[in-house]
Amino acid sequence: MRDYVCGYAPCVIMNLLPSTHTHACVLSVCSDPCLHPGDHLKDRIQPCVSESVKQRHLVSASFGTWIAKAAEWVTVGKYGAATIVYLPSQDAFYYASPASMLSAQCPDRTVFLGQFVIDNDSTPRILVYDLVRLRGVSCQDMPPRERYACLQELGNLLGSMCTLQWVGECKALSEELKAGKFKVPHEVRGVISLSHVPGKISIEN
């Protein structure tokens, strides 16, 4: 049985990229397809976004980050000696490429959530901003701030292609984006607010 971390309405599966970006993600992040059964099959996550959220709803208590205009959701998990990548858009598992492999010191059954982006200089990266599972325990119902605090402690275990993404107050980030003060090397679609369920987000349109 599939154990989706996020699988309830109302939500819309994010389908942000043309197939060329998905193909670039596979080439950059993945190696061989992972076709064998295992615990990773229980860790599928289908990121979903709520209906439009107006600026007035981005109160100071909201905690989140930005989403790139061109982004492909990915999870990166440690299963024994293997690092396995899951692409929700393809519902497919792959063994990680050398650059996206987690450290041997990463705890077993720890799964990270991020977005694959290609920067303006054509550099591919995974921006990791959330935890799906930690040492085999689901992070569902854990407040976003607590998940991110755990993620910060594990940031040095990420592969060389992975970058720990900034997560903080949505209101401040939204104001900096509107004022042109916030700059990253790729186009930004908007601010996402995290919830108690990894992958279930609200986005400012």
| pLDDT tens digit sequence for 97-113 | 999 999 999 999 999 99
Number of separate domains in the chain: 1
Position 101 in a domain: yes
Q: Please tell me the predicted confidence (pLDDT) of residue 191.
A: 94
What share of residues in the chain are helix, strand, coil (percent, to 5)?
20, 35, 40
Query: From CA 134, how far away is CA 78, in angstroms rounded?
Result: 10
Position 6 in a domain: no
Query: In the predicted model, what is the mean pLDDT of the chain?
Result: 87
Position 4 in a domain: no
Give yes or no for a contact between 144 and 129, defined as CB atoms under 8 angstroms apart.
Answer: no
Position 106 in a domain: yes
Position 2 in a domain: no
The SS3 call for residue 82 is: strand
Position 5 in a domain: no
Domain residues for the domain of 110 are: 12-203
Q: Please tell me the predicted confidence (pLDDT) of residue 22.
A: 87
Query: From CA 49, how far away is CA 100, in angstroms rounded?
Result: 26
Q: Please tell me the predicted confidence (pLDDT) of residue 67.
A: 94
Whichever domain contains 95, its CATH number is 3.30.470
pLDDT digits (tens, 9 = 90+) for 49-100: 775 445 444 444 699 999 999 899 999 999 999 999 999 999 999 999 999 9
Instruction: Answer whether residue 10 shows pLDDT above 90.
Output: no
Instruction: Answer whether residue 130 shows pLDDT above 90.
Output: yes
Position 160 in a domain: yes
Position 7 in a domain: no
